[in-house]
Amino acid sequence: MPIIFGIIGGLVSYFIVKKEDPKLGKNCLIVGVIHFIIDVTIGIIMMMFSESVHLM
């Protein structure tokens, strides 16, 4: 779920799984946060590249 829905999926997975398996819940949350950071980084790079193309 964290892979598909990013940080929201990580949070949902964490709260669903944390009672049965706290380690898995924490891992789901970490995967969601990492996915979110990667998405934001790619978005920023794309915006910077787009602006540099328009300046030419």
Tens digits of per-residue pLDDT, 1-55? 556 677 888 888 889 998 899 999 889 888 888 988 999 999 999 988 887 666 6
Is the model's pLDDT at 56 over the cut of 70? no
CA distance 22 to 27: 9
What count of other Cβ atoms lies within 10 Å of the Cβ of residue 35? 18
Q: Are 45 and 33 in contact (CB under 8 A)?
A: no
What pLDDT does residue 48 have? 86
What pLDDT does residue 41 have? 94
What pLDDT does residue 1 have? 58
